[in-house]
Amino acid sequence: MWLGKGKHFLSFPVRSGELINYVGFVPADAEMKESWSAPGDPDVLSREFDGWDPRIGMLLSEVDKTFRWALYDREPLPIWTRGRLTLLGDAAHPMLPHLGQGANQSIEDGMALATILARATRANVPAALLAYERLRRERVAAVQRGARENGMRYDSSYADLGVRDAEISAHAAFRRRLYDHDVVPEAQAAAISLG
């Protein structure tokens, strides 16, 4: 990952190292349509990172097709559950990608929901869904805040980059708690409390 003023670049191997995935995060002047497949211009992306590490230039010189998508920062819905219907994942709490946690939090939601519903009866399903929402709300809000804050770090939104670097180092403890979290015991306790 390369960090710079107002933008950053991330790359990593995929498909057992056969391919390199990359993302260039840059500010946009124009409002963008929400899309995962809007075409981009490889030359425009390459110019955004002129003068950066030559490895970025080498990687981008191999690119012949790019996609553009905007990042929209949204608050979680105030209510996820109504009666016998509930939401999970991005439908309830969309996340910026700066912690790589959108899919992970959806999986945690699914595990919590399945664990709680496994002990629910037909009569207490609405209460079980509310218990799931209560269980997940605080954690996903903390992860959303962490993703926002990390995006600011990555885009070097600091007068003193030493402060940014210290925060990135200190952020390791947050990441450990993030990655070591096991939602199942909490969900089991929430299910038991339903009676």
Compute CA distances 129 → 38, 81, 182, whole Å: 37, 7, 19
The dihedral sign for the CA sequence 68, 42, 151, 178: positive
By three-state DSSP, how is residue 68 classified? strand
Rounded to 5 degrees, what are φ and ψ at 40?
Answer: -115, 180
**Residue 133 above 90 pLDDT?**
yes
Matching residue, tokens 């509310």: 130
Share of the chain above pLDDT 70, in %: 100
Per-residue pLDDT band for 180 (boundaries 50, 70, 90) equals: very high
Share of the chain above pLDDT 90, in %: 68
Compute CA distances 51 → 4, 31, 45, 55, 57, whole Å: 11, 26, 13, 11, 9
Count of Cβ atoms closer than 10 Å to residue 112 Cβ: 24
Range of 17-31, 65-79, 116-130 with top mean pLDDT: 116-130
Residue bearing the bigger pLDDT, 153 or 115: 115
Helices vs strands, H then E, count in the chain: 6, 7
From the list 140, 148, 143, the residue with the least C-alpha distance to 88 is 140
- The residues pairing with 10 across neighbouring beta strands, listed in sequence order, are 23
pTM for this structure? 0.83
Look at residue 155 in the predicted model and tell me its pLDDT: 85
Residue bearing the bigger pLDDT, 54 or 73: 54
Per-residue pLDDT band for 51 (boundaries 50, 70, 90) equals: very high
pLDDT in tens, 143-178: 999 999 888 888 887 888 888 888 888 888 888 888
Look at residue 55 in the predicted model and tell me its pLDDT: 96
**Residue 72 above 90 pLDDT?**
no
From the list 32, 97, 98, the residue with the least C-alpha distance to 67 is 32
Estimate to the nearest angstrom the gap between the alpha carbon of 192 and the chain centroid. 30
Look at residue 13 in the predicted model and tell me its pLDDT: 95
What is the C-alpha to C-alpha distance for residues 140 and 149, in angstroms, rounded to an integer?
Answer: 14
Look at residue 52 in the predicted model and tell me its pLDDT: 97
